[in-house]
Amino acid sequence: MHQKKPFFSIIVPVYNVEKYLGACLDSFLSQTFTDFEVIVVDDVSTDGSRNIARTYQRQYPDKIQLIEHTVNTRQGGARNTGIAAATGDYLMFIDSDDYLKPDALEIYANTIARENADIVECCFSYVDEQGHYLRRSSFRDRIARLGEHIPLLISEMGPCNKVYRAELFRDTGIRFPEKYYYEDYWTVPKVLMAAKRVVYIEDPVYCYLQRSTSTMHDTNIDRNNDIMLGTDSLLQFFSEGNFPEETKTQLESLAIEHVLFHGTLRVNTIDYTSSMQKKIREYMLSRFPDYKNNPYNCRFSSREKRILKLIGAGHSLAVNLLWYQRNRLSGAVKSLIFKLLGK
């Protein structure tokens, strides 16, 4: 491994990704900026992933370190293992089915040098399993709705399109929860709150693979309990820190998006009669009783606002029809839904 401290430590949790891991690791080895280490944490894979990682570690011992878990701790635990092993000035978390464009680290390093940033956040390039470009994300949409000053927590909560000054983890003790789902949501807002300078760049250097079998497409309704636990963890972190009250307003907006909106839609598409939807509504009202008047609700599209109104009123079937079946609805059914909305 490195004899000197590297600039970047790239942390890669691995679990059953034998089809994708080679492309991920190759993307690091082809970077134009070469001052980095890669820490691969195999989380007890049952396919060929561990052997692939071993092969790369043997071929590139000066770049790649392999840590082999004996107990599965999910992504959160694997990332924590990587944090403990990392020696770099800045940390990155890359999902093992994704990859970086060849100039990603160079762009990050130049931005850090120019801006003295604690965190740099880039845009995504969305790609399919054949490597075909699908679309890209942009901060311009957020700027159009919220103005040039993007509120810190009105952001992408995934950890992978960011680089972090290592002290944000080492000095604060912030870690990912182990054996919980939505671990990103528990953690990334805390790191953003702890940062002094966050810089956004339009470069879509992170290639985000769209595949139906990823953990983002799970259909277990009970997992939504974890995102409510995560919100409580964020609120506790806020209450224990010296943060402006505006931060809580942003946390509320974060919960509207991730707990109320996306959480309800996840449940609704599996079973629109599930009582979990009521549990989510009651949770939001207990933690954020005035959420409907949050000033950042302006960032939602008109269609999303209609869905949020239906969610808040408990019209689960109407949510399902308007969100998932809208192209099949008759005029009469649409009229009924708009009547529920008070239109």
Cα(83)–Cα(61) distance, integer angstroms: 19
Q: How many CB atoms lie within 10 A of CB 174?
A: 18
Cα(108)–Cα(263) distance, integer angstroms: 32
Segments of the chain with pLDDT less than 50: 1-2, 143-148, 215-216, 332
E-strand ranges in the chain read: 8-14, 36-42, 64-68, 90-93, 99-100, 119-121, 124-127, 133-136, 162-165, 198-200, 206-209
Query: Residue 189 has what pLDDT?
Result: 94
Contact in structure between 199 and 111 (CB atoms under 8 Å): yes
3-state secondary structure at position 305: helix
Cα(134)–Cα(130) distance, integer angstroms: 11
| Of the candidates 203, 188, 228, the residue with the CA atom closest to the CA atom of residue 122 | 203
Structure-token match 């103005």, residue found? 147
Beta strands 198-200 and 64-68 are unpaired
Query: Residue 57 has what pLDDT?
Result: 98
Amino acid identity at 308: L
Query: Residue 299 has what pLDDT?
Result: 87
pLDDT digits 0-9 by tens, 295-341: 999 889 898 999 999 999 999 988 888 786 665 555 545 555 555 55
Contact in structure between 91 and 164 (CB atoms under 8 Å): yes
Query: Residue 297 has what pLDDT?
Result: 93
State the alpha helices, DSSP H only, in 150-244: 167-170, 183-194, 224-240
pLDDT digits 0-9 by tens, 216-234: 455 789 999 999 999 999 9
Contact in structure between 129 and 172 (CB atoms under 8 Å): no
Query: Residue 146 has what pLDDT?
Result: 42
Contact in structure between 227 and 263 (CB atoms under 8 Å): yes
Give the CA diameter of the chain: 71
Query: Residue 253 has what pLDDT?
Result: 95
Give the pair of three-digit tokens for residue 162: 């960011």
Give the pair of three-digit tokens for residue 197: 């300078």
Give the pair of three-digit tokens for residue 273: 């009669």
Query: Residue 206 has what pLDDT?
Result: 96
3-state secondary structure at position 264: helix
Query: Residue 100 has what pLDDT?
Result: 97
DSSP state of 103: T
Query: Residue 149 has what pLDDT?
Result: 52
| CA dihedral of residues 40, 204, 265, 180 (deg, nearest 10) | 20
Confidence (pTM): 0.89
Cα(251)–Cα(218) distance, integer angstroms: 25
Give the pair of three-digit tokens for residue 281: 């509504």
Give the pair of three-digit tokens for residue 209: 């693979």
3-state secondary structure at position 295: helix
